[in-house]
Structure 1
Amino acid sequence: MTTRVAGGLSRAPVSLGLLAVIWVLAVISGAWAKGPSHELAAHVSLGLPTLDKGYVWTLWTSGVFASGVGGYLLATVFVLAVAVPVEQRIGSRRFAIAVLAAQGAGAALALAAARLASAVPNSWGLELHGHLTADPLPWVFGALLAASAAMHTLWRRRIRALLLVILVTTALFAGHLPDVTRLCVALAGLLIGPLLFGRSARSPVLGGTIRERRTLVAVVVAASVLGPLFAAFSPHAIGPLSSLRELFDQVPYSARELVDICADPALNDECRTGQQALRLSGIGPLTMNILPSMLLLVGAEGLRRGRRAAWLLSVGGHIVLLGLACVSVIVRTIEQDEARWVLYGIHRHSTVYRDFAPLLALIAVLVLLLATRRLFDVRAARGTYRRVWLGTLAAAGTALALYVVFGTLLAGGFDRDPGVGTLLRDAPLRLLPPVYLQLFEPPVLPLTPAATLLFEWIGVLVWVTLCLLMLRSFFTPTAGYDLGGERRVRELLHNPGGGSLSWMSTWAGNRYWFSADGRHAVAYRVYSGVALTTTDPIGERRGLAEAADEFAAWCLGTGWTPCFYSVGPDTAALAREHGWSCLQVAEETIVDLADLAFKGKKFQDVRTALNRAGKEGIEARWTTFAEAPLAVTEQIVEISEEWVADKGLPEMGFTLGGLAELQDPEVRLLVAVDRDDHVQAVTSWMPVYRDGALVGLTLDFMRRRADGFRVAMEFLIASAALSAQEQGLEFLSLSGAPLAGSDTTEPDLDRSALDGLLDLLGRTLEPVYGFRSLLAFKAKFQPRHRPVYMVFPDAAALPTIGIAVGRAYLPHLSLEESGQLLAHLLRR
């Protein structure tokens, strides 16, 4: 271990050299304790004053000093944790170029921004104009973003999105020159990276899996919520969105002093100012003002889970905030008063940037939410939000009743004797954050601790209840999730059993139909008025034909077009007898295990994979997603996200499983793990039962590291076959390859002109999704081939069925991704 660490550090001479220079200069100059002295800072720190003196070198020297012992320790951590690995990845020469170029260009850009801000009269620009900064973190961030150009798509997008969101948030809300410098140097690194690695700039667009894209949107929304809170708890923040800190202004008068002031008509303005300050002071009002942001933060968690209600909550919340902000601007413009900004605080120096910068931030987040609305289509079960609103209304009604009752009992604790009528008029206002009530005169103000507790905290209870109920709703089962139906389907899949692909019927998104006798089931999805089944009907072989007829009649009676999708030759032959149309849509490959032996020339590639794995210390381990260690599951997620992200195209679903399907406890995982416990590849295997006994396994999920063990898939499938053979199983199904067929397929059904159309479509999509290449890969295991069909009652319904199939496979396909797919096809 020590040797490995030493070897790793030896490959980062520039990072460690810069770290040594930082500490040597800190000790020699005495800057390690409180930063550079005033005389030294005037020559080495970055800022407009030093640049005006012609000290151009400060663009770089500011990166080898820090503001004190905390800054030096933080810089050390970031150099060791970030800069060293980055240098090891991209090489010392490129790292040195990235550091010098990003630091110089970014620091110059930061000073240009400070100069521009100071050219317009505003407090932020004045602060930036006179500040000096010394901070090593900017060049670390610049090098990291420059190196992101050489990373795989997933980590490039994650690092760019997360780091830029953090840096933009701190620059807008904290707003000090170090914050602006870090952002500008990071942006410079982002632009320099493609030049260093000879690649075109690739922005962190929202690509990859649905899960990853939802997470990135949730992160942006959460950052927009946490930014104001960050400013609130940073009384020294100076950024353009930092005004929330003024909620911490000291109250000029106590409640009893304010009673005397308000009694004097000549002090009316001072009375109003004092009332506003008093109503917004203390822990209770502060908590109440923050709770709407907490509700939006809860919404961000719902966005991460793809919930439609969370999207509606986030969009509605930002629209309300925009409306309140506009009203605030109009009122303060008309009245020219010191009214507090409904979003952030008090604006004693109203300027264009302070009025409209928060609006632009809200608009940007709202546009992002509207542009990604298709990602958030997960709906809760019927009645979920009715219970949320009823619970909130019950809490509000209870709170209002308590306020009136206890307010009457504590009448002497207010600045005037509140009658029941006054309390009834004031009670609804207790449910609104005080910052939204600044334009209204308060009917009463509390004087005693008991009255203050009642006045300030009764509304907090209602908001907390709403937040908890909304958060709980995001963990409830989704709409259409039929727990009882899925349980019955699983029982049928165990006994009497299903086909080799039938386990797909348990996947999320399916609905379930059961025959009148309960012995047969059909899993289906409805798109565009088409009931699209997932594989063959499930149940006893005797009676399958009657069950299929019953399901088709039920669909037609409901107004849907039935379409049996991904079914075998038996169901297709039955449908043909009924006059239905049939199309081969995939090819399933099955490996019989009874006499399997990887011998002979035809298995040369398989034997090579097994032998190489043994020499390189790679072994195959059986597990499940629930039983696997966290380190293994995290690597599986990383490999999957990377695989999808590198394609740059939307992930397909329906009969193609993803990460969500791995979490089924009955689905087995076979992972290829090296000596260092690094997962090189992963496969998932669905069970196939007959009369309660396991007879086969079906391959579903296949992912491997792009730069890992090259023949990992051959190794894992061969290992699975040998292991299943030892267990006495009958077969392995390597699953189907959509829009692909082999010349060895038995012509059990006549082919039509429509089959030729699908064949053309398969050839067209091959360069994009590679289904035919997948079928050719599976041929290494010498399987037998089984055609998979789609059958439907009327060829006239084929266009609608085609739309339904497309929506089933790509339910979240956006206009942008459609363009990307078309561009790929045209280039090919």
Structure 2
Amino acid sequence: MGTACSVRRERCAVFTVGYLRVVGLVDLLGAVWVSFGNDIRRHDVDEYFTPYLLTAGYTPAFLALFLAVTMRRGKRAAWLLNLVLAGLYLLFLAAATAVPEVRGHPQNWVSLGITAAFCAALLAGRRAFRAKGDPANPRLAAAVAVGGVAVGGLLAAGLVTVTDTGHGSTFGERYAYAMLRVVSLADAGKSFPGISSPGWVDVVINALSAVLFLLVLYAAFRSPRGRELLGPRDEMRLRALLDRHGERDSLGYFALRRDKSVVWSPSGKSAIAYRVVGGVSLASGDPIGDPEAWPGAIGAWLAEAREHAWVPAVVGAGEEGGTVYARHGLDALELGDEAVVEVADFTLEGRAMRTVRQAHHRIGRAGYTVRVRRHEDIPEREMAALVERADRWRYGRTERGFSMALGRLGDPADGRCVMVECADEGGEPRALLSFVPWGRHGLSLDLMRRDRDSDNGLVEFMVIELIRRAEEFGLERVSLNFAVFRSVFERGAKLGAGPVLRMWRALLTFFSRWWQIESLYRANAKYRPVWEPRFLLFEKGGELPRIGLASARAEGFLAAPRMPSPRR
């Protein structure tokens, strides 16, 4: 019985979303196709009426499509707004059909029936719309509406003033003319006969009005941003889990980024660190802690995402973690491979290592030296100087990284991290590498910076020197950079590669001019590492563009302007 009710509720929710999509598309068609739009609008005068939101025009189209998107995400506020608007319109239609002139037209009964069906579906599927919005949304929407109307009205009034060819109108009248179009899109010419402005001015004002309308809608229905970031208590608990289970995932330590939030399994033995970016709940790597408790953490994370209408996604999950995520309904897409060097198997001998061997010898003969220390062994003044150099050597102003970067350097809590410093013949620092712990016997690359005027091959020299001193630090494996779509470059270059694979490789090679996709793969491949696949996990394929944008923003490749939030 419960299952049947759940299926019926889901079908009703799908019907409401589908209705809004169809109405929005028809309204768009009516706005573009003038004769068709006039036919629709003709039914909304005198004794003819169309169903809910079917009025032909850009504004009702945008409203219907926006509500369809928010309803699909299960937002309670969108459900309530639809219920109020559709309910009021249903009462209006019911009262109108009581009039004999209106009752005699069959199309009005059709409109009444369709609107009633939509309202009934809203009520029947109400439990499918549980996602909460940000508590600050009503205040923010009101602020955007008031501020937008004031600013938009002034801009529109200024445009009317500049283009007005009439005579005798005051600025107050021109402002009232502009405000009438901004707020209602109504034809204000009859109310203000002294104003004569070109038709394109009205179009521009209408466009301003549509933009303002969309901004108000966005402010009213935006998802919460997940402001409760990692606190001292959660960080302490995560460190305890990493002490016991940190060997499982090379990305585990990056869960300690303080711009992430954390959700715990009911037992407290596992956790998922995530960050909300553009309405996407973005986790990275495998869950932290006991694998037996991973399902509990994943379930809690997914439940929180649904509660707030966030899109759940995981970047850089390993094969073990990706399998558990997939059991909870997420699909997997292979992103690339992580390069892991096994210390015991590493050697500079052989033809395959010739390039690395030559680079190491060349840099060594040039007088470069390497020093390897735990962060906790570096004096405070030296660490401050290293941080300053790392900032100076950074390419661009943005600190990039999310899934495979700690986002800080020199924090006292990260004393077990390892710093590899390289100086030239004169003792001048030229490069540094910083690694985070990977359990007790591994390191994972966090930061790689070098002076651009230094010799090529410096990084190879530093990595090899670290591996040579692995015994001093009890190292068994070192995780280096992540190679995006590595298999495409490797298989696409082989004899017999198919046309699709070759085309895909050519496309990635083209984009490598800006994003260093191929160069990162080749920089890792020269160490002859073990390649560990990493995956992107997602719920619906249609959400991949949104997830991609959120990932790019989190990693620092894109920066989006934020709408200011009112003070709490």
Structure-1-length-normalised TM-score: 0.36
SS of 1:496's equivalent?
A: helix
State whether residues 620 and 670 of structure 1, in contact with CA within 8 Å, keep that contact through their aligned partners in structure 2: yes
Number of equivalent positions: 324
**Equivalences for 1:666-815 in 2 at 5 Å?**
666-689=416-439, 694-725=440-471, 727-738=473-484, 740-741=486-487, 762-810=508-556, 813=559
Using the TM superposition, give the Cα deviation of residue 621 of structure 1 relative to its aligned residue in structure 2, in angstroms: 0.9
Which of 263, 286, 289 does residue 536 from structure 1 map onto?
A: 286
For residues 515 and 755 of structure 1, the distance between their equivalents in structure 2, rounded to whole angstroms, comes to 41
Q: CA deviation at 1:579?
A: 4.4
Structure 2: how far apart are the matches of 1:546 and 1:755? 39
Q: 2:338 aligns with which of 579, 584, 588?
A: 588
Aligned counterpart, 1:174: none
Find the aligned partners of 2:232 and 2:501 in 1 and give their Cα distance.
Answer: 38
Q: Which letter does structure 2 place at the counterpart of 1:548? A: I
485, 488, 495: which one pairs with 2:237? 488
State the SS of the aligned residue for 1:614.
helix
Q: Please give the alpha-carbon distance, in whole angstroms, between the structure 1 residues aligned to 2:405 and 2:324.
A: 28
Aligned residue among 617, 636, 643 for 2:367: 617
Give 1:522 deviation, angstroms.
Answer: 0.5
Indicate if the aligned counterparts of 1:586 and 1:738 stay in contact, CA closer than 8 A.
yes
Answer yes or no: is the 8 Å Cα contact 1:593–1:725 preserved in 2: no
* Aligned AA (2:241): L
Amino acid at match of 2:522: A
Partners of 1:500 and 1:739 lie apart in 2 by 19
Aligned to 1:655: 403
Alignment of 1:451-462 (within 5 A): none
After TM superposition, list the pairs within 5 Å mapping 1:150-161 onto structure 2.
none
Residues 235-246 of structure 1: matches in 2 within 5 Å? Answer: none
1:201-247 CA distances to partner (integer Å, 9 max, x unpaired)?
Answer: xxxxxxxxxxxxxxxxxxxxxxxxxxxxxxxxxxxxxxxxxxxxxxx
1:575–1:541 CA distance, 2 compared to 1 (3 A): closer
| Partner Cα separation in structure 2 for residue 737 and residue 634 of structure 1 | 31
Work out the CA distance in 1 between the residues paired with 2:329 and 2:243.
32
SS in 1 for 2:403: coil
2:316 to 555, 566, 572: 566
**Which SS does the other structure have where 1:559 is aligned?**
coil
Per-residue Cα deviation, 1:324-378 (whole angstroms, up to 9, x for no partner): xxxxxxxxxxxxxxxxxxxxxxxxxxxxxxxxxxxxxxxxxxxxxxxxxxxxxxx
Larger Rg belongs to:
1
Once the two structures are TM-superposed, the CA of residue 572 in structure 1 deviates from its matched residue by 2.4
1:508 deviates by 2.4
> 2:278 & 2:375 partners in 1: Cα distance?
34
Please give the alpha-carbon distance, in whole angstroms, between the structure 2 residues aligned to 1:740 and 1:602: 18
Does 2:346 align with 1:600? no
Q: Structure 1 residues 479, 760: closer, same or farther in 2, change over 3 A?
A: farther
Q: Deviation string for 1:676-698 (max 9, x for gaps)?
A: 33112111111111xxxx12111
Q: Supply the AA of the counterpart residue of 1:660.
A: R
Distance 1:636-1:769 versus aligned 2 partners, 3 A rule:
farther
The Cα of 1:555 is off from its aligned counterpart by: 2.3
Matched to 2:236, the amino acid is R
Alignment partners' CA distance in 2, 1:520 and 1:484: 15
What residue is the counterpart of 1:525 in the other structure?
275
The AA in structure 1 aligned to 2:532 is: R
1:513 match: secondary structure:
strand
Q: Distance in 2 between matches of 1:739 and 1:583?
A: 11
Change beyond 3 A, Cα 1:772–1:700: farther
- In the aligned structure 2, how far is the partner of 1:761 from the partner of 1:809? 22
Contact 1:632 1:679 in 2 (8 A): no
Over residues 16-54 of structure 1, what are the superposed CA-to-partner deviations in whole Å (9 max), with x where a residue is unaligned?
xxxxxxxxxxxxxxxxxxxxxxxxxxxxxxxxxxxxxxx
2:291 maps to a residue whose letter is R
Partners of 1:523 and 1:784 in 2: CA distance: 26
Partner of 1:222: none
Q: Aligned partner of 2:477: which letter?
A: F
Q: CA offsets, 1:273-303, max 9 Å, x none?
A: xxxxxxxxxxxxxxxxxxxxxxxxxxxxxxx
8 Å Cα contact 1:635-1:679 kept in structure 2:
no
Q: 1:585 touches 1:738 (CA, 8 Å); kept in 2?
A: yes
Structure 2: distance between partners of 1:811 and 1:590:
25
Shift of 1:525: 0.2
Please report how far the alpha carbon of residue 773 of structure 1 lies from its aligned counterpart in structure 2 after TM superposition: 0.3
Conserved? CA contact 1:640–1:659, under 8 Å: no
Deviations 1:448-472 (A, max 9, x none): xxxxxxxxxxxxxxxxxxxxxxxxx
Distance 2:442 2:332 in 1: 27
Residues 587 and 788 in structure 1, CA contact (< 8 A), matched pair in contact too:
yes
Matches within 5 A, 1:408-487: 480-487=229-236
Counterpart contact for 1:584–1:755, Cα < 8 Å: no
Distance 2:501 2:240 in 1: 36
Cα distance in 2 for residues equivalent to 1:607 and 1:515: 47
**In the TM superposition, what are the counterparts of 1:179-578 in structure 2 within 5 Å?**
480-497=229-246, 498-578=248-328
Contact (CA 8 Å) 1:622, 1:668: kept in 2 or not? yes
Counting only pairs closer than 5 Å after superposition, residues 71-150 of structure 1 correspond to structure 2 as none
User: Is there any run of 5+ residues in structure 1 with no aligned partner, and where?
Assistant: 1-477, 746-753, 816-828
Alignment-mate amino acid for residue 509 of structure 1: D
In the aligned structure 2, how far is the partner of 1:496 from the partner of 1:487? 14
Partners of 1:630 and 1:597 lie apart in 2 by 36
Offset of 1:628 from its aligned partner? 3.2
1:777 CA displacement: 0.9
Q: CA deviation at 1:548?
A: 2.2
Offset at residue 488 of structure 1 (A): 0.7
8 Å contact 1:650–1:813 — kept in the other structure?
A: no
1:749-795 deviation line (CA, Å, top 9, x unaligned): xxxxx999997875454112313201201111100111211101111
SS of corresponding position for 1:622:
strand
- Greater RCO, CA 8 A, separation 6+: 2
Query: Could you tell which deviates more after superposition, 760-769 or 672-681?
Result: 760-769
Shift of 1:563: 1.1
Q: In the superposition, relative to structure 1, how do residues 799 and 744 fare at CA in structure 2: closer, same or farther (>3 Å)?
A: closer
Structure 1 residues 628 and 726, CA gap change in structure 2 (3 angstroms): closer
Q: CA deviation at 1:583?
A: 1.8
Secondary structure of the 1:599 match is: coil
**Contact map agreement 1:643 1:706 (CA 8 A) in 2:** yes
TM-score (norm 2): 0.51
Query: What letter corresponds to residue 721 of structure 1 in structure 2?
Result: I
Residues 566 and 790 of structure 1 are in contact (CA less than 8 Å); yes or no, is this contact kept in structure 2?
yes
1:543 is paired with a residue whose SS is: helix
